[in-house]
Chain A
């Protein structure tokens, strides 16, 4: 045994050295590819920033101008204060839309998920199956009757069609929270029952603190989705005063006289809060995407 090992040692050392060299070259190649792709993904951001700081005459030039001269910081002041793009009003509308829907989906989905995960009742499995099925449902088939319904209710032209449904649960969020709640040990909730707590108390005092990470994932994901939602506001909102940021940006673009440099500044301002949030809560974004994509597995 010992002799066999001794015989092998020099050869193994050489093998290992060769392996390490291969590994090194391999990782350089991988880095080169990944870095080039990263540049391709990031260049548009860089170009938007540069363009947003240019005098309008320098936006489209040959050769390209990489450093604007002079650097027009005033573009931002102009873009964010022009009557064609009322940033503070649009931001306020967006925040209203984002905050109400996030509260709505968190409350409703948590309560529904609690029943599906922790309570026994006839029809529970059927309801869960239906919930799963609706997760895959393309929105296109419900679009028009839903619009007609809201039109009949007189809600078109208000935020109600965009906000009210979120207070009645959302299939994916219910599913996600149910999965998280299933993992909570029964002893924890049973102990609370014995102490005489009812389900509302248990949900609020025992379960919610334990699923906070999942709630944060849902909140962050909802914020991102609603912040960028274009179709909903497009069909349901009528007045420019009501528009959220993305709709305001679209309206800004449809004015023919608008300068590209200002439009780039406005575009950046529209994404900026979300990008900040991403850097603060990156973990929850990535977890959210991962969970969305893996839900079928």
Chain B
């Protein structure tokens, strides 16, 4: 607050009177009041409350009962589904996030070459991003039908044996990743394309004059300049993929097991079931809190390592 006061004072412009200044501040508080209410009611209160709920047994109908760390004990030590959902979510995130970034970046680099038809490709890649998860999953259920789906019949042409996709415990998660790639790569590509266009041509020319070939230019000019974008999308990708829900929910329907052998039991799916099917709000809050703290920890680790990592990429490969 002291800092804010100082900077406020330093911004003071003499053309305004004291009276005018006070009126300006009052108007400002009036203008930001909805946002302050929103921050208090929809952000601050729920964050604090979720700490409280996570230590209670609470089913919404009856008042919460304090149980201390029991929820966490059950979660970490007694609930086999919890660790299964963690494993499934990690599998999904560890493959879909890097793959999405990589494919998006590659497509952006190709599109950034001076070639025609960019508009068509841009539209083609982005169009799947408009399809809601429900429709996307239904569409892929038809495409990935184990016996007679288009994908398997195409793969059969090359001698690939029939894949069970959503009906196989091994292939269900790759199917989900495929759907995410189809829907999400276009957006990632557009972001990278915009970042590539920001790279000054003069830098590229300077590197060229210094005798750097295409690959060297990519490693020592393009990649370092893109690293903030890569980094930011990595964090957003992790946050998003840890909370994957819609596709898994629709693919598994209302069945009691989430996909074959619970292979599609994602973290959010288990949380949803606990909260809104069994009304174990306390347990679900504990799950939410654990995920939140994990995400904060991962984000902080990535942020802390980022400067070194970017530096390493830029200078470490000669």
Decide whether A and B assemble into one complex. Answer: yes
A27 to B114 Cα, complex, angstroms: 8
Q: In the complex the two chains form, is B284's CB within 8 Å of A34's CB? A: no
A98 to B36 Cα, complex, angstroms: 24
Chain B residues within 8 Å of A59, by CB: 142
Q: In the complex the two chains form, is A246's CB within 8 Å of B132's CB? A: yes
Who on chain A is nearest to B185 by CB? A41
Check: A74 CB closer than 8 A to any chain B CB.
no
Chain A residues within 8 Å of B140, by CB: 44
Check: B250 CB closer than 8 A to any chain A CB.
yes
Residues of B113-168 at the interface with A, using a CB-CB cut-off of 8 Å, are 113-115, 117, 120-128, 130-135, 138-140, 142-143, 145, 147-150, 153
Q: Which of these binds chain A: B42-50, B73-81, B202-210?
A: B42-50
Q: In the complex the two chains form, is B276's CB within 8 Å of A235's CB? A: yes
A151 to B37 Cα, complex, angstroms: 19
Chain B residues within 8 Å of A43, by CB: 150
Q: In the complex, what's the smallest C-beta–C-beta distance from A107 to chain B, in angstroms? A: 9
Q: In the complex the two chains form, is A231's CB within 8 Å of B246's CB? A: yes
Check: B100 CB closer than 8 A to any chain A CB.
no
Who on chain B is nearest to A297 by CB? B228
With beta carbons under 8 angstroms apart, the residue of A122, A130, A228 that contacts B39 is A130
A199 to B31 Cα, complex, angstroms: 10
Q: In the complex the two chains form, is A249's CB within 8 Å of B134's CB? A: yes
Q: In the complex the two chains form, is B38's CB within 8 Å of A168's CB? A: yes
Interface size for A (C-beta < 8 A) is 99
Who on chain A is nearest to B268 by CB? A140
Check: A212 CB closer than 8 A to any chain B CB.
no
Check: A38 CB closer than 8 A to any chain B CB.
yes
Check: A6 CB closer than 8 A to any chain B CB.
no
Q: In the complex the two chains form, is A142's CB within 8 Å of B121's CB? A: no
Check: B28 CB closer than 8 A to any chain A CB.
yes
Q: How many A-B residue pairs have CB under 8 A?
A: 287
A115 to B31 Cα, complex, angstroms: 6
Chain A residues within 8 Å of B35, by CB: 108, 112, 127, 131, 168-169, 174
Who on chain A is nearest to B123 by CB? A282
Residues of B251-278 at the interface with A, using a CB-CB cut-off of 8 Å, are 253-254, 268, 271-272, 275-276
Check: A263 CB closer than 8 A to any chain B CB.
yes
With beta carbons under 8 angstroms apart, the residue of B8, B37, B232 that contacts A124 is B8
Q: In the complex, what's the smallest C-beta–C-beta distance from A62 to chain B, in angstroms? A: 6
With beta carbons under 8 angstroms apart, the residue of A121, A253, A271 that contacts B250 is A253
Chain B residues within 8 Å of A148, by CB: 49, 53, 60, 281
A114 to B229 Cα, complex, angstroms: 28
Q: In the complex, what's the smallest C-beta–C-beta distance from A25 to chain B, in angstroms? A: 12
Who on chain A is nearest to B32 by CB? A115
Residues of B near any A CB (own CB < 8 A): 1, 3-5, 7-8, 11-12, 15, 21, 24-25, 27-29, 31-32, 34-39, 41-43, 45-47, 49-50, 53, 60, 107, 110-111, 113-115, 117, 120-128, 130-135, 138-140, 142-143, 145, 147-150, 153, 182, 185-188, 190-192, 194-195, 228-229, 231-233, 235-236, 239, 242-243, 245-246, 249-250, 253-254, 268, 271-272, 275-276, 281, 284-285, 288-289, 291-292, 295, 299
12 other A-B residue contacts (CB within 8 Å) besides A231-B246, A285-B126, A294-B195:
A47-B142, A51-B142, A60-B147, A120-B21, A127-B32, A141-B289, A143-B275, A143-B288, A246-B135, A260-B142, A264-B142, A268-B135
Can you give 21 contacting A-B residue pairs, CB < 8 Å?
A34-B115, A41-B124, A41-B182, A42-B124, A60-B148, A60-B149, A120-B8, A122-B4, A124-B8, A142-B43, A142-B47, A145-B47, A145-B49, A151-B60, A174-B35, A199-B27, A249-B135, A267-B139, A278-B126, A285-B126, A294-B194
In the complex, the 6 A-B pairs of residues with the closest C-beta atoms, listed nearest first: A293-B191, A296-B232, A168-B38, A145-B49, A115-B31, A142-B46
Residues of A near any B CB (own CB < 8 A): 26-27, 30-31, 33-35, 37-38, 41-45, 47-48, 51, 59-64, 108, 111-112, 114-116, 119-127, 130-131, 134, 136-149, 151, 165, 167-169, 174, 190, 198-199, 224, 227-228, 230-231, 234-235, 245-247, 249-250, 253-254, 260, 263-264, 267-268, 270-271, 274-275, 278, 282, 285-286, 289-290, 292-297
